[in-house]
Amino acid sequence: MANESTTQGSRADAAEPRDSQWPLWEVFVQPPGGDPHEHAGSVHAVDAESALQNARDVYARRGEAVSIWVVRSGQITASTPEDMGPFFDPGNDKPYRHPQFYKIPRGIKV
């Protein structure tokens, strides 16, 4: 138990994993057809170039990708679940941002 919580703590704070398995990189893959890059998973790699090659080998063996991004996991800044309410709130009280807010006479297509 104590062991596990130490592991978690050190991983949470560190940009680098503490062991010999090399840094963790998040992989984003862009499918053909102009869709945006999407998170596919992660790889361990010694540097960016080998991270890209590993990502190609692991996540793009069947024509899934026209482009791959890799980024060090520790370099990503993310919102936390606790932020969820207040952080995303401003959208909820602004219905006028949506087309359904505006009334159009019956029978007219706009």
Partner 1 sequence: MTPIQPQQTPVSSPEDPERVAAFEARIAAGETIEPKDWMPERYRRQLVRMMSQHAHSEIVGMLPEGNWITRAPSLRRKMSLLAKVQDEAGHGLYIYCGTETLGVDRQELIEQLLTGTAKYSSIFNYPTLSWADIGAIGWLVDGAAIVNQTMLAKASYGPYARAMVRICKEENFHKRQGYEIMVTLAAGTPAQRRMAQDALDRWWWPSLMMFGPHDGQSSNSDELMRWGVKRKSNDELRQRFINLTVAQAKAIDLVIPDPQLGFDETTQDWRIGPIDWDEFWRVVKGNGPCNQERLAARRDAHADGEWVRVAAAAYAAKQAKIDSAFEAA
Site for partner 1, rule CB under 8 A: 1, 4-5, 7-8, 11-12, 15, 17-22, 24, 26, 40-44, 46-47, 49-50, 57-58, 61-62, 73-81
C-alpha pair distances (Å), 91 with each of 19, 20, 98: 42, 44, 10
Nearer to partner 1, 2 or 108 (CB): 2
Name the token pair of 83.
């932020």
What is the phi-psi region of residue 22: left when phi exceeds 0, alpha when psi lies from -120 to 50, beta otherwise?
Answer: left
Nearer to partner 1, 40 or 68 (CB): 40
Nearer to partner 1, 1 or 110 (CB): 1
Closest CA to 51 of 30, 72, 66, 36: 72
- Least Å from the CB of residue 98 to partner 1: 24
